Amino acid sequence: MQNFDFDLFVIGGGSGGVRAARMAAQRGARVALAEVAAMGGTCVNVGCIPKKLYSYAAHYAESFEESHGFGWVGEAPTLDWELLKTNRAREISRLNGIYIQLLKNAGVQIIEDWATLAGKHSIEVGGKTYSAKHILIATGGTPTVPEVPGREHVITSNEIFDLAPFPKRLLVVGGGYIACEFASIFNGLGAQVIQAYRGAQVLRGFDDEVRAFIAGEMRKAGVDLQLNTDVASISKTDQGLLVTLKSGATLVVDTVLYATGREPLTGGLCLDTADVAVNEAGAIQVNTHYQTSVPSIYAVGDVTARLQLTPVALGEAMVVVDQLFGPAAGKRPRSMSYDFIPTAVFTHPNIGTVGYSEADAREKFGAISVYSSDFKALKHTLSGSSERTFMKLLVEDATDRVVGLHMVGADAGEIVQGFAVAMKAGATKAVFDSTIGIHPTAAEEFVTLREPVKKPA
């Protein structure tokens, strides 16, 4: 029997990699983890966490303005961009330290360098070669920028958090959730924001009514959202960055943020050395057990380009650990279902969604009933804001099961999370109807929608 240096070698210290390494070590496995950058990956360092902190910061401007309707008098304070950046960086450093300590406490050997595959059971890091019975690739993804003339002048979401100085005029290129979030955030922080998207509507893949509703709310909030618009070139001038659109129109901004997609971070891993297969998009191909084309090598998270969500990577990591080293005492082996995974978009207002869009529900289930509501939240009866809330339920007629739930409004992510549990459990519209709402809240609207706005033909 071959002796290995480690039972598990993890490449990548993001959410999935850290979770797998820590839990495998707690099962008694000999584990190493290689990470060349700050521990925690995209989510902790340049993704979910700092983005949500900046989203909180951006909400204060509108909150100060809205407070006048509730009797508060006085001028709103001004944003100290440098202080916000400093406080965010301190919090991220604290989280980096926590991740490292969790790994060390579990007995994981951390190797701070770039790792490459040297074979089916071997990894090269910093000039040294290690052997492992199992290898897990969890290197995540990275932003991509198309080959547009002047692309050397643009930034991605990796650089947006530490811009100096604050971009008073910002162009956001893209229509996905990252583009929409940063357009909302920097608009709230006080920038003049233009968002350009080549498609007919933002947030492709989301419910069409949700897409149209959030586009309207973002425009009301001050984002200059320009659809069917794409960039032809970017050049640097004394007045700023001169952006020429394909329509021939021009605009001058301080910063151009490209949020047009992400790709799996596989470059430099030497996957071909071990014959690890990738698909046309460069994502590592895995089976239902997260095994690659090489039985000893596994992959989870964004590097497989399934669902690019931190909780998904965490769930996949736990499936791999339970398969390889057994479940925790008294627990069953984990499994991963991709049905009814809730998600949120931290635009202003937020989006929360779980289940199918209306178009997908009709294709999947045939006859469905649609319930929806569009209203001004109680808060805004005094705040002076024109912001509205939108809610939508999709019900499969044959079973009465709620198969789609969507919300655009304050704290949508917090509200939808609870309903996601009910939908995973198979809740029907009758169960929703029989549930007493908490009054007065926006969330109660989901259990008081009585008449469908669209019935099956």
130 Cβ neighbours under 8 A, 6+ residues apart: 5, 6, 9, 32, 122, 123, 124
Whether the Cβ atoms of residue 282 and residue 271 lie closer than 8 Å to each other: no
For this structure, is 348 an active site residue?
Answer: no
State the amino acid at position 457 in one-letter form.
Answer: A
CA 400 to chain centre: 31
Return contacts of 361-366, CB within 8 angstroms, 24+ apart.
361/394, 361/396, 361/403, 361/404, 364/403, 365/396, 365/397, 365/398, 365/403, 366/397, 366/398, 366/456
Alpha helices by DSSP H, 288-428: 310-325, 358-365, 380-383, 412-424
Element (H, E) at 92: helix 81-106
Task: Determine which one of 59, 121, 153, 439 is catalytic.
Answer: 439
Q: Is 454 helix (H, G, I), strand (E, B) or coil?
A: strand
CA–CA distance, 241 with 100 (Å, rounded to integer): 40
What are the residue numbers of the active site? 439
